[in-house]
A and B are shown apart, each in its own frame.
Chain A
Amino acid sequence: MSDPIRGQTAICGLGITEMGKVYGHDASWFAGESVRLAVEDAGLQKDDIDGLLVNPGITGMMGTGISIPLQGYLGLRNLRLLNHMNSYGATASAMVQYAAFAVHHGMANYIACIFADAPLQQGGSAGAAYGGAGRRGPSGMASLMPAFGFYGANTSYALAARRYMERYGITNNDLGRVSVTQRRYAVDNPHATMRQPLTLEDYHNSRWIVEPFHLLDCCLVSNGAVCTIVTTAERARDLKSSPAYVWGMGQGHPGNFPHAEVEVGTTSGATIAGETAYKMAGVGPEDVDICEFYDCYTYTVLRTIEDYGLAKPGEAIGLYPEDPSDPESELPTINTGGGQLSSYYMWGMTPISEGVIQARGSGGDRQIEKNDIVLCSGNGGTLDTHGTLILSPNAN
């Protein structure tokens, strides 16, 4: 039994800007480009947009991210819905969820959900862009972290990954198989930043960042923006581009409790979020055709696959070929655009944008033939927050 809201709302417009080392513009500019592209994609007019939800990325932590003033920048004068949202990497799916409920109940007709970021500066490294975000000398207990030498998101995810790897006997070569698989998809994705094919040898030769992570275990940092426009299924049907119908929605937020009673590294919010979304959509793991999973690190993908019930704990790696760079090997239909590892890092909008493309069947050379159920995840903190969207090309 599905919920009556299944298929009643849809993503009707998608705008993806140029991605990566695109310099000379701030996050608002990228946001503006993304909504312009999304409105054009949907065949709408600017004044049709009557809802705006925004989520800044790294620049949000630096104080230069998009927020409520984006309304003025875009000249949206008659909004019926407006908010700046943040549950980190789970925000993008949450924006679409709240927009779906709002359009379903008539609070607005066309809600633009925008993620925009521009942390990269010419001559600066990606690590500096992320590691430097919000850097002030911490006080209290937090000041112990730099005193011990802990820095950045890479470290906290590496800690989680190590526990997972030791528990299930997962090796670096296994993580490499995820990285190489996604790059093979990115080769065929014109939006992707990294399109040179990779081998496992390339993976092993990439420098260590924080063991167990090589450079090629870590996502990109990108300048760019993605906008999705959410409306009712009824309105979406008559628009210019094929709708991606929203079948299921869920969230799960285990939070971060450094205590024996809470396991870290081998669990995430995907379990609860997934159950909620499956129930709404009236589907189960066995029905999923395509996964677009938040992949800040290779490890995150394996963890997420298992928490959605698509493999038993410790067995997600079994879905990947031994050598994914072998053109004869069959790739799992997971992160079909290359993901954050190889295409672009737009927080939770990376999986959603590729999910919309696959649900529409517009993935070109990387299009997966069977695309009835597309499962998209968002994940934030260190597996602290999680959001799920199940998309479909079919209204019912």
Chain B
Amino acid sequence: MAYEKPLPNPDENTQPFFDGLKEHKLLLQYFPSADHYQYPYSDRCYKDWSTDWEWRESAGNGEVYTWVRMHQLYHPSWKAEIPYTLAVVQLDEGPRMHTNLVNVPLEDVRVGLRVKVVFDDVTDEFTLPKFEPV
């Protein structure tokens, strides 16, 4: 069955991030002058306003910062999944990511749960970074 959920829509600046996902790499922006990892993408470090940065691969480890169960249908493609679990994961490098949790029973989901990234190749073109318990 065709994948019907909304797909990412990379722009010029974020294309490398999405290309990285396809290679099963989670890339973060690293700003050396502030020793700061930043996500989501920005062309400037919010700590010291530096514009000098590079992509670095995240180790993909972190913990559940917070989570919810979505019951409201905003887009018809989610109908079969409702209610589904959404999470914010605190990466060990510092940034927090909105994401989906997979391979975890609902009763185990809690703030502080240690997780690691898994790559879900949802279509030939796109891969989404999701997280599962360690």
Contacts and interface: CB of A to CB of B under 8 A. Distances in A.
Interface of A: 127, 131, 137-152, 154-155, 158-160, 162-163, 166-167, 207-212, 257-261, 264-265
B62 to A, nearest CB: 9
B111 A166 contact: yes
B55 to A, nearest CB: 13
Given A143-B9, A258-B96, 17 more contacts: A139-B9, A140-B11, A144-B98, A146-B6, A147-B6, A149-B81, A149-B84, A155-B86, A159-B67, A159-B88, A162-B111, A207-B71, A209-B71, A258-B40, A259-B38, A259-B96, A260-B90
Interface of B: 5-11, 13-14, 17, 38-41, 46, 65-72, 74-75, 78, 81, 83-84, 86, 88, 90, 94-100, 110-111, 126, 128
B83 A208 contact: yes
Given A147-B5, A148-B86, A166-B110, A265 B72 contact: no
Contacts of B10: 139-140, 143
Given A142-B40, A143-B10, A211-B83, A152 B98 contact: no
A143 B95 contact: no
A385 B99 CA distance: 25
Nearest to B87: A159
B75 A146 contact: yes
Nearest to B67: A162
B46 to A, nearest CB: 7
A162 B74 contact: no
Contacts, number: 118
A155 B73 CA distance: 12
A258 to B, nearest CB: 4
Contacts of A261: 94
A259 B39 CA distance: 8
Contact of A139 (B11, B38, B46, B98): B11
Contact of A259 (B13, B17, B95): B95
A260 B111 contact: no
B69 A160 contact: no
Contacts of B72: 127, 151-152, 154, 209-210
A163 B90 contact: no
Contacts of A260: 90, 94-96
A211 B17 contact: no
A150 B40 contact: no
Given A127-B72, A146-B75, A261-B94, A159 B40 contact: no
Contacts of B67: 159, 162
Contacts of A142: 40
A163 B111 contact: yes
Given A151-B74, A211-B83, A137 B9 contact: yes
Nearest to A151: B74
A151 B75 CA distance: 9
A163 B75 contact: no
